[in-house]
Each structure stands twice: as structure tokens, then as C-alpha cells.
Amino acid sequence: MRWAWRGRVSVRGDEAVLERALTEADPARTPRDAAPDARALATRDRILRKARAAQRPHSRAIGWASGAVAVGASAIFAVAMLLPQETASAGTPAPLHFDGSSTIAEIVEGADADLAAVSGPSVPLRKVNAASWGFSVDVVDESTHVAPQLSELTWSPDGSGRMTIVRGVPYDPTDAVANNRAEVSSSGDVVSDLIMAPGDFVPPWSEMPGDSRDDIVALLTAFGMPAGPTAFDIESALTSTFDMWTLTNTQHREILALLEETGEGVALGDSTDRLGRPVAGIQFFTPDKGAKDVVLVSLDTGRIVGVERTAIIADEVFPAGAIIAYRMWDVESGVIR
């Protein structure tokens, strides 16, 4: 039995649509109705326990993960947990290396200047180009492969749309050279091209969002941000939002200001993300300190262009320090094909 940690398609309407997208993106080798063996059942039960724990107050916002797993017919459970960016872990992409020092205020101030100087979308777009990564794990032969992918989502107010998923160039996680590079590039292999009919795609927020602070708070609230949010609450809501909307520079500025105003997080300095873009990093711990995320802010545009997740606590699958998942946005559309 094969359990695949794969990129998540953020369709919150018809569960059958979501299941179809995930199945087409990474079909299992075993028959659909095959009974799982004891090891597969144990893996499933462990995932379910973690999924329930992730839904407790202040821990539920792990749902952005590229490391989502499909269990049974239509249940989707996020199993991503995260850790220190300085620690490399065998079998997963190498952590990003950050140089220099800065403060969150300095990162936001620099982003402010870039956002004002560089053109972005004039209006929010119902279109998202993204790159993500996860594991493909075969519990029978105990093999794992890194499974990067690129995706393009377009949708309309009537709930119609299209999701295209292109397989990234895979690599063996035991290959040290590939592991240290760990960049996402397209193989050109389209593994899913899902056409959604009107009403199939039902996002939490479908109207064109405004640019004001109140507008952004309302948008993030629709995507799960609670009242009196922590920085982690904001980050979790923005990742879900960015999976469905490409926002304007002004809207990015408001989100960065919200993160800064919490007084939380740690500035990590500068790095290069897995698409070769210069970025600054801001790190946030999950409420239970079992994981941490790094929000990546472009040093060219000032926009939030990615989130990486690392495991702090080891489990049966991932050691402490493992990069469990990452998600990047503002991907050039030509890379998807």
C-alpha cells in the first residue's frame, strides 16, 4: 500500500473534486479497493492522531501544507510539522541558509519600499501559480522520493475553474548533491489537468477583496484567522489565501504590517529560495513549539513569496530538523508548462 505526501489542491467545495485532483496528481499503484496491510494501517492511524491534534485551538492552522495526505475516499489531513533552519536532515531538502542580521521592522521597511517601487497586479487575481514539495513514501519497500510539483489555478466567481499540476523533476533524497541543490524545476509532465464546472470551486472568499486594513482583516478572517490573532494565525490564514488569490502590492503591505504588529517572530537575514529568488526570512513557531515556519519575503518585490515548514519534534517518519514542506507563490507562469 502506498501513502503519498503530495501537494495540496485548495478546493474547499465538493470533496469529490478535491479527491479527483489528488488522485490524478499522484495515483496509487495498488487497486482503489485494496485492503491496507498492518503497516499501512499503523501509518494511517498515526496520521489521523496528528491531524486531530492539529485541529485543536491554536494548532489547527497547519492546513496549508504541501505535505498533505489523502486517507480513504475523501479525507484530507495535513501532517506537516516544522524545525530549525540551521539543521540539515537526510532524506529531505536542505534547509535554506540565511546570512546577515536584521530585524522584522527592517525587513518590513525594506519590503514597503520595494512594494511601492515595483509594479504588481493592479487588482487581485483569481489565479495562482505555485511551486510545492512533499514526500512520496512507499511503506512496503520503505522507499521515499522527493516529489516537487508546480501548479496553476484559475477560477471564476461562478465557481468554475481549472487546476493544472505539472510534476517537478524528482530526485533521490539520498543523493547529497541533489539534496543540497533541492530546487524546483518542471519536468514538463502534466499529471493533472482538472476542469471545474460552475459551482465546483467554492472558496471562503469569492468577491474581489479591497486594499484597506479592514478589507484585509475580513479576507484573512474568512480563511481562518481568529479575532486577536497571533503571528502564526495570520501566517496560516495568508498561506490559505495565497493558494486561491494573487493579491496586490498594497494588500501584501497590509499583511506584512499585521505580522509586524504582533511583536512576534524572529528575523533570519537573507537567503535564496528554491526558485533562485533573493528573499528575507521571518520565522514563527507553532503554538505548541512542535514546528516552525519561515515566511519568505522577496528582496526584489517586497511581496511574500513562500513559506517553509520544518519539524522540531521527530516522529516515525521524519527526524527533527527535516524540511517537511514548502510552498512558493508568484511563480512565473511559463515554468508551469
pLDDT per position in the chain (337 positions), as tens? 333 333 333 333 444 444 455 444 444 444 444 444 444 444 444 444 443 344 333 322 223 333 222 222 122 222 222 223 344 444 577 788 899 888 999 999 999 999 999 999 999 999 999 998 765 556 666 666 666 888 999 999 999 999 998 887 766 555 544 444 556 676 678 888 999 999 999 999 999 999 999 999 999 999 999 999 999 999 999 999 999 999 999 999 999 999 999 999 999 999 999 888 999 999 999 888 888 899 999 999 999 999 998 888 887 777 888 888 889 999 876 566 5
| Domains held by the chain: number | 1
In a domain, 207, yes or no: yes
Question: What pLDDT shows up at residue 192?
Answer: 86
In a domain, 94, yes or no: yes
In angstroms, how far is CA 294 from the centroid of its own chain?
Answer: 11
- For residue 144 the three cell numbers come to 521515499
In a domain, 47, yes or no: yes
Question: What pLDDT shows up at residue 325?
Answer: 82
Question: What pLDDT shows up at residue 337?
Answer: 59
Report d(CA 273, CA 296) in Å as an integer: 8
Whether the CB-CB separation of 152 and 129 falls below 8 Å is answered with: yes
pTM: 0.72
In a domain, 34, yes or no: yes
Q: Which domain holds residue 118?
A: 2-124+134-336
In a domain, 216, yes or no: yes
Q: What are the CA-CA distances from residue 98 to residues 13, 86, 101, 281 (Å)?
A: 39, 9, 9, 8
Neighbouring-strand partners of residue 78: 68
In a domain, 129, yes or no: no
**Nearest-10 Cα torsion for 7, 154, 130, 151:** 50
Question: What pLDDT shows up at residue 91?
Answer: 59
